[in-house]
Amino acid sequence: MNPPVPTLRELQHAMRRSLPEGVNEEASAWIVADGLDAGKRLSIYRNTFAGVLGTALRLAFPAVHQLVGPDFFEGAAGLFVAQAPPRNAWLDEYGAEFPDFLERLPQAASVPYLADVARLEWQVNLVLHAPDAPPLDISRLAALSNVAPAQLHFEPHPAVRLLRCEFPIDVIWRAVLERDDCAMATVNLAEGPVWLLAHRTQSGIEVKRLGKREWHFTAALFSGKSFFGALEDAPCDDAHTVLATHLARGCLADVSVVPSALANEFRRTDT
């Protein structure tokens, strides 16, 4: 007698438990053997599932892969996949929790900067796959020269990310990817923390190191605060130069003008 036909939801739930968790009983009841045991059929899917996700992690974290080696990475990726399966079908979004997972992984404790390398690589991955958008045309800003800075709110380009790390991760990341053993040998782990900006350009991904005040002002500006609001929140002696630099790099996508009454309200709430 054939088993009852499951609903799509029931079948998806059973496969969800079988693939990452290894629970075969529920899914096996609805699989026709047809010459191959149901458990073996599920193992094929499970191996494919783990392999595809492991490849996605390796592509998103190439420096981590090189730092720990393929065997360690494969083992860590397998543990991570079992604990944190994907929530959607877009694999470019898979791996956001991997840096924190590595930070908690006892076997990775001997490489204290590993999680920070992963955090930088994830931001680079987000920048790489961010949607295209034209940078803010400086002529638009020139046309607003009579508008008070308190009324100007800037929108960061979607292919820009900010990151603070405890270690000099930018140097380590470049040295690992370039296989530059001499550069790695000169890394001073006590040099951190570092404040970084990752940005996609026409020539590729750039990771720039910012000053502490410059980074905090940029973070406030990118969060939606007005120019004055960002300056009040994160004082920066050369804020105008920082803004000009971001414009020149194409790190800003849009600017909007908030009515003066609202700008005053924003300034009160910013402080």
How large is the average pLDDT for residues 199-221? 95
Cis, peptide link before residue 193, omega less than 30° from 0: yes
Q: Residues 249-258: pLDDT tens digits?
A: 999 999 988 7
| Mean pLDDT of all residues in 176-198 | 94
Please give the model's pTM, rounded to 2 decimal places: 0.83
How many residues are present in the chain?
Answer: 271
Least confident range of 33-42, 58-67, 99-108: 33-42
| Confidence check: pLDDT of 66 > 70 | yes
Partners of 161 in beta bridges: 198
With 70 as the cut, is the pLDDT of residue 29 above it?
no
Residue whose pair of structure tokens reads 């100007």 in the numeric block: 152
- Domain ranges (residues) in the chain: 1-111, 133-271
What DSSP line would sit under 85-148, residue for residue?
--SSS-GGGTTTTHHHHHHH-GGGTTSTTHHHHHHHHHHHHHHHHSPP-PPPPHHHHHTTTTS-
Please report, rounded to a whole number, the percentage of residues in the chain having pLDDT higher than 90.
62
Cβ(18)–Cβ(24) under 8 Å? yes
Phi, psi of 195 (to 5 degrees): -115, 120
DSSP classification of residue 252:
E
Burial 12-49 (b: 16+ CB within 10 A, else e): eebbeebbbeeebebbbebbeeeeeebeebbeeebeeb
Predicted confidence at residue 151, as pLDDT, reads 86
Range name among 97-106, 158-167, 183-192 with the lowest pLDDT average: 183-192
Each residue's pLDDT tens digit, 128-175: 999 999 999 988 888 888 888 788 899 999 999 999 999 999 999 999
pLDDT in tens, 77-90: 999 998 888 888 88
